[in-house]
Structure 1
Amino acid sequence: MIRVLLVDDSPLALHLLQRVLASTPDIRVVGTALNGREALPLVASLSPDVICLDLHMPVMDGLEFTRAVMASTPHPILVVSVSVEPGGSGVFKLLEAGAVDVLPKPGVLEADDAGFAAEFAVKVRVVAGVRVFRRRLGPPAWSPTIDLMKAGPAKLAVLGASTGGPQALKQILGALPTGFPLPLVCIQHIGGEFLPEMLTWLGQTTPLAIRQARAGEYPEPGSVHFPPADRHLEFDRAGRFLLTCSPPFGGHRPSVTVSMNAAARQFRDGAVGVLLTGMGRDGADGLASIAQVGGLTIAQDEATSVVFGMPGEAVALGAARHVLPLEQIAPTLMALVKNDRRASTEN
């Protein structure tokens, strides 16, 4: 039985979320609170498996509460909140503080939707299985055992992620320098309501340009391109972006595998695939496609993954040429482009 603590300043929201979870036999709401200050003693006394938390609350808001919990008795936190105003980044500050994942808060009618109930239950189950602790990562480390000469000159990298992905992307993109010459495409499973906010948040932490891809445009060096909500990102024969409404692949649109398959077809051994933390197996087959055409493939290792589902599936397929801790991925990408420059100079 997964024990859940709900924290929200709206009694109606608490009622709706309780009603949704009441229909799920393996999940039980063990407590509710109207703000962070009310919730703190309940965390200690109830020891819930998951805390479902709103951002905007009086007395003690979600960010202050998350910081307090993670500093004292870390527990898995699922943010259930409305997206804030355009240009804000409040929800993602909670992820930065230690929350695991985000879910759009439903309206009165949406709460009775079977799709929301199923998604909410899945998120709770995944977050309940996360080991939360105060991780202290060391400085970026480079492993000399990685052989970059087997890949062709890099033309584009596709990074894919789900649960824990925003935090992982923040660390990778924040470590890449101004003028990084490789175009990047990022496929992150997240509610479309949160996409603009996530792009704003990431843009505050990296010198690279963070933007939504536009159909017909070429991927630009030094830019990080995200597909619009509910669109697959592929490439035409000239290498320009195609944004499609093709059916979801493996339940996802955008899909990591769809974009990696497209990159393998278009850029061959110049494609680079990076599969990060996330639930499920989206991206595993796509990483295999890049590996099959001779491109460089990287999977995040289990120790630094919030959820080892997606990278673990790629490792099981033999699709990941390298399995790296999160802090080594950005240095690997930088070494790759440096290696390409050296090779082109020598030729």
Structure 2
Amino acid sequence: MTKKIKVIKVLVVDDSPIALIVLKRIFATSPEIEVIGTAKNGLEALKLIPQLQPDVICTDLHMASMNGLEFTREVMQKYPRPILVISSSVQEDDQHNIFQLLEAGAVDVFPKPETGLTADYGTIQQELINKIKILSGVKVFTRRHRHINRVNQEHRQQFFVRNIQDKLVKSPIVSPPQTIPKDPRYSKKIIKILAIGSSTGGPEALKTILHDLPSTFPVPIICVQHISNGFLTGLVNWLANESKLPVKIAISGELPQAGVIYFPPEEHHLELNNWGKFVCSKTPAIGGHRPSITVTFNSVANFYRSSAAGVLLTGMGRDGADGMLAISQVGGLTIAQDEASSIIFGMPKEAIALGAAQYILSINDISSMLLNYIGRGR
């Protein structure tokens, strides 16, 4: 018996009649996608959503009456669902627009061909279809106000996922998230470094954690985020504005400093040498990723042993799971984001399945846990 294909219902919002026609043609090539409605601005689209109940919304940015940014904010407040912004104004040079949209609740952005020619849309057809398929499986949360209710801020930036071919997997049943514990097995830990790995949904999850850490945070922080080429600088600048700690790109030979957040350079793994200094290398990708979370976690475990802490956040695939196991096996502290607050529960789920996560916590509890342990003994 042939398994019935679940059709992804898409609403397309764009003030260009040509763009509407082209996008409908592109989506029509996939039997898994159906365009159930179109609108020429945000106001029209808002009226259609309750009636059509789309699974994914694609919207332009610049439109009269209600633009894509305003529309995104309204949707995430009233009818939360995955939003893909398809625009000529989300190119590599438009990082201000991109981060505004992600802040408002867009899950992903996709640049239109810069020429605007219909023929050039063919070159992006499969990538665009893949993005729609991925977005249809993304969890989103209602946003009541853009500056409050931080539990609802974990649903952005699918845009930053490097490998869109990763498949979504069903989450297993896991133990309920643990509250902030005082476990005697770990009560005497002295943590000297914190490593955090993330992918789908990661930038907003990172922001949630880093925003809560004080300017006196006593150890270095290494973050590995799967991100599209050309957007690392924008991510670093955005997080720097949201954090009390300085955020920078690591340099080979540099010794990690307490209270500084480091990211690997684009297309580089980030490791530590025998003296604890950074090594940025372009050795082959691991599991399709460079930088690889597992590579960094393994290196941190090897150098810092039981003084290491590893946190694995929302993301597709399994990068970081083996690395978190390495940290756990040498006696370090390990935390996985829970399913309820993860956009995609792939990476944390894999770490949990390996028995690598000592604690499974909501994104809003992780910073408290870190301060609870890293503050001890200081």
TM range, normalised to the smaller chain?
0.7 to 0.9
Query: Which structure 2 segments of 5+ residues have no match?
Result: 1-6, 144-148, 152-177
Q: Which residue identity lines up with residue 363 of structure 2 in the other structure?
A: L
Q: Is the 8 A contact 1:151 1:296 kept in 2?
A: no
What is the CA-CA distance between 1:124 and the residue it aligns to? Answer: 2.3
**Distance apart, 1:283 and its partner CA:** 1.0
Structure-2 residue corresponding to 1:293: 330
**Retained in 1: the 8 A contact 2:92–2:231?**
no
1:36 has 2:42 as partner: yes
For the 8 Å contact 2:61–2:67, the answer to whether it is kept is yes
* C-alpha distance in structure 1 between counterparts of 2:71 and 2:267, whole Å: 32
The answer to whether structure 1 residue 327 and structure 2 residue 364 are counterparts is: yes
CA 1:98/1:216 → structure 2, altered by over 3 Å: closer, same or farther? same
5+ unaligned residues in a row in structure 1: which ranges? Answer: 342-347
Of Structure 1 and Structure 2, which has the larger fraction of its residues in helix? 1
- Distance in 2, matches of 1:137 and 1:159, equals 19
* CA distance 1:142–1:319, change in 2 (3 Å): closer
Distance 1:66-1:179 versus aligned 2 partners, 3 A rule: same
Partner of residue 201, structure 1:
238
Tell me how many residue pairs correspond in the alignment: 337
Partner of 1:153: 190
Aligned to 2:55: 49
User: Is 1:269 aligned to 2:277, yes or no?
Assistant: no
Q: Does 1:211 align with 2:268?
A: no
Partner of 1:124: 132
Q: Decide whether aligned partners of structure 1 residues 327 and 2 sit closer, same or farther in structure 2, where only a CA change above 3 A counts.
A: same
Q: 1:21, CA displacement in angstroms?
A: 3.6
What corresponds to 1:232 in structure 2? 269
**1:106-163: CA deviation from partner (whole Å, max 9, x where unpaired):** 55687545xx65554443223212333327567xx96234456267421211111111
Match of 1:71 in 2: 77
Equivalent pair of 2:200/2:314 in contact (CA under 8 Å): yes
Cα distance, 1:256 vs. partner?
A: 1.1
Q: Secondary structure at the match of 1:185?
A: strand
Paired position in structure 2 for 1:27: 33
Give distance in 1, aligned partners of 2:326 and 2:254.
24
Aligned-residue RMSD, C-alpha = 2.8
CA distance in 2, matches of 1:95, 1:146: 37
Return the TM-score normalized by structure 1. 0.86
Distance in 2 (alpha carbons) for counterparts of 1:218 and 1:236: 10
Q: Residue 269 of structure 2 contacts residue 295 of structure 2 at CA under 8 Å; is this kept in 1?
A: yes
Looking at structure 2, the residues matched to 12 and 183 of structure 1 have their Cα atoms a distance apart, in angstroms, of: 51
Give the Cα separation in 2 of the matches to 1:22 and 1:264.
Answer: 49
Q: Give the direction of change, closer, same or farther, for the CA distance of 1:280–1:119 in structure 2 (3 Å limit).
A: farther
Letter of the structure 2 residue corresponding to residue 219 of structure 1: P
Q: Taking structure 2 as the reference length, what is the TM-score of the superposition?
A: 0.79
Name the SS of the counterpart of 1:192 in structure 2: coil
Partner of 2:97: 90
Aligned with 1:245 (options 245, 268, 282): 282
Shift of 1:171: 0.8
Q: What residue number does 1:279 align with?
A: 316
Matched residue type, 1:289: A
Task: Check the 8 A contact 1:49/1:76 in 2, yes or no.
Answer: yes
Tell me which moved more, 250-259 or 74-83.
74-83
Aligned to 2:106: 99
When structure 1 is superposed on structure 2, of 54-63 and 5-14 the one drifting more is 5-14
Q: Are the equivalent residues in 1 in contact too, given 2:150–2:208 (CA < 8 A)?
A: no
Q: Does the CA contact (< 8 Å) of 2:179 and 2:361 recur in 1? A: no
Does the residue aligned with 1:211 lie in a helix, a strand or coil?
strand
Shift of residue 339, structure 1, vs aligned partner: 1.1
CA distance in structure 2 between the aligned counterparts of 1:45 and 1:260, rounded to whole angstroms: 47
| Distance of 1:246 and 1:54 partners within structure 2 | 38
Structure 1 contact 213–227 (Cα < 8 Å) conserved: yes
Structure 2 residue 39 is the aligned partner of structure 1 residue 2: no
Report the CA distance shift for 1:233/1:49 in structure 2 as closer, same or farther (over 3 A).
Answer: same
Contact 1:55 1:91 in 2 (8 A): no
Distance between the aligned counterparts of 1:340 and 1:51, measured in 2? 50
1:318-343 CA distance string (max 9 Å, x none): 110111111111011111121131xx
